Structure 1
Amino acid sequence: MTAIDSYVRELDRRLHGPRRRKADMIVEVRDGLQDAAEAVRAGSPEVSDAEAERQAVEEFGSVPAVAPEFQSELAVVQAWRTAWVFAIALPLVMTVTTLMWRAGSTGVSPSPAYHDLAHATDVFLIAASVGFAVALLLLHLVARRAASPVALVRIVGVAAIGTVLTMMGSGLFLTMGAPTGGTSLWGALVGGLPTLPGYGLLLYLGVRCLRLTRTRGPGAGRPSRRPAPVPSA
C-alpha cells in the first residue's frame, strides 16, 4: 500500500457523514495528493515515487490535523439536509392533519382546551417550519464565514429532535381527547403506529446532526481553519 493509499484509507475511516459527499471528499484528497506527488517528481526527477508520495502527504498535513476540517464540512451538509426536510415536511404535516380533521368531522364542537392545543400545535408547526427555513439561509450565509459551524449544526439537531418529540406528544393528547370520541393512552399509541416510520426518520436526522459534531479521536472536533462549503441537496 502506497503512502497516499494509506493516508486516504485512514482519512476515510475517521470521517462520518453523508456518503456521497464523503466519497467526493476522499476522491478530491486522493487526486490532490497524486497531483502533489507528480509535482515533486517533476521538480526532482531523482526522487522515487514512494518518496514523492511521502512528501506530498507530509505537506498536506497529518490525518488528525485535517480530519476535523472535513468532518465539519460533512456536518454542515447533514444539517442543511435536515433543515431542508423539516422546512418542507412540517407544512405538509399540518396540511394533511387539517384535511383529515375536516374529513372526519361530525359537527361536534371540541372543548376549549382541545381547541387551544390544536391551535398551539398549528402555530408551533408554522414557527418551526420558518425556523428551519431560516436555518437553511444561515447555513448558506454563515458557514462560509464562521470559524466553526459546529454550534449551528448542533442547534439544527436539537431543534429537529425537539420538534419531533413535541409533534408526537401533541398528537397523542389530541388523539386521546378527540371530540368525536377520545381513546386511552394505549389506544393512542397503537393508533399512531403508522406514523412511527416518518417520525423515526425525522428523529434520526436530528440525532445524526449531533453525532457528526461529536469529538472522534485525537484532534477531532477542533474549529475548522477553512470555511465550510455551501451545501446542496
Structure 2
Amino acid sequence: MIDRYVAELDKALRGPRTVKADMLAEARDGLVDAAEAYEQCGLDRASAEQRAVADFGPVDVVAPDYQTELALTEGRRTALLICVVLTLQPVAWWLLMSFAGHGADARADTDYARIDDVVRWTGAGTIGMALAVAIATGPGVRYLGARRRLARAAGFFAFLVCAVFAVLGVLLTLHSPATGSLVGVTGLPMTALLLGVPLIGVAVAGRRCLAAS
C-alpha cells in the first residue's frame, strides 16, 4: 500500500530529480513510521499501511504542496544559472579578444563600443534581477509565500534573457574587430560556442521551470 502510494505521488510530481527523490524518501519514511505505530496498537500490516496512507492524505491533495516546493527549487536554480552564465561570459569574451590581438583597442570602434556598453549594462541589470528571483524563490518565500507563479516568472525570464543576449551577441560579433582578423577562430561560430551553448542551457532550465510550475 505504501509503495503504491509513493509511486503515485512520484508520477504526479515534476521537478529536480534529487530534490524529488528526497521528498519521496521522506514521505515514505513518515508512512512507514506511522504504519509501524499502528501495528504496535494491534493492527495487521495491511490495515496499518492503509490507515497511515489515509492519514497522510490523497495524492491529489498532497501533491500540490510538494510540487510548489519543486517549482521554487527549479526557479532558484535557473536564476543562479543565469547569474553564472552572465558573469563568466564577459571574461570568456575578453580572453577571446585578447587572443585575437584586440584586447586593448577593441573599443576603439565606435559601433562596437556602443554595443559593448549596452551588453555591459544589460548584463549587470540582468544579474541583479536574477539574484532577486533567486532570493524570492529561496529565503524570500517566508515573506512572499510559496507561490508557483514565482517559478513561472523565472521560466519566462530565462527565455527573455536568451532572446536578448542572443541578439546582442550577434551584434557584438558582427562589429567586433576580431571578426575580420581571425574568422576561422572567432566570428559567429565562436559566438555560438561562447554564448549560444550556455544560453541553450538557460533555455532548457526555463522550460523546466514552466513545466514544474
3-state SS, counterpart of residue 101 of structure 1: helix
Asked if structure 2 preserves the Cα contact closer than 8 Å seen for 1:38 and 1:52, the reply is: yes
3-state SS, counterpart of residue 17 of structure 1: coil
Rounded Cα–Cα distance in structure 2 between residues aligned with 1:146 and 1:22 = 23
Going from structure 1 to structure 2, the CA distance change for 1:147 and 1:135 (only over 3 Å counts) comes to closer
Tell me what 1:70 maps to: 66
Asked if structure 2 preserves the Cα contact closer than 8 Å seen for 1:94 and 1:125, the reply is: no
Rounded Cα–Cα distance in structure 2 between residues aligned with 1:81 and 1:180 = 34
Q: Write out per-residue CA displacement over residues 37-65 of structure 1, whole angstroms, 9 at most, x where no aligned residue.
A: 1122223x1x2211111111111110011
> How much has 1:188 moved relative to structure 2?
5.6
Going from structure 1 to structure 2, the CA distance change for 1:50 and 1:181 (only over 3 Å counts) comes to closer
Rounded Cα–Cα distance in structure 2 between residues aligned with 1:194 and 1:120 = 21
Counterpart of 2:27 (choices 17, 29, 41) is 29
Counterpart of 2:76 (choices 76, 80, 87) is 80
Asked if structure 1 preserves the Cα contact closer than 8 Å seen for 2:154 and 2:209, the reply is: yes
Question: Partner amino acid for 1:18?
Answer: P
TM-score (norm 2): 0.86
Tell me what 2:50 maps to: 54
Tell me what 1:208 maps to: 208
Rounded Cα–Cα distance in structure 2 between residues aligned with 1:107 and 1:56 = 71
Matches within 5 A, 1:124-139: 124-139=122-137
Rounded Cα–Cα distance in structure 1 between residues aligned with 2:179 and 2:36 = 75
Tell me what 2:93 maps to: 97
Instruction: Please report the RMSD computed on the Cα atoms of aligned residues, expressed in angstroms.
Output: 2.4
Worse overlay, 34-43 or 62-71: 34-43
Question: Partner amino acid for 1:65?
Answer: V
More helix by share: 2
> How much has 1:90 moved relative to structure 2?
1.1
Residue 199 in 1 paired to residue 199 in 2?
yes
Q: Write out per-residue CA displacement over residues 174-223 of structure 1, whole angstroms, 9 at most, x where no aligned residue.
A: 222334556xxxx965453424332211211112111110xxxxxxxxxx
Structure 1, unaligned stretches of length 5 or more? 214-233
Percentage of identical aligned residues: 30
TM-score (norm 1): 0.79
3-state SS, counterpart of residue 141 of structure 1: coil
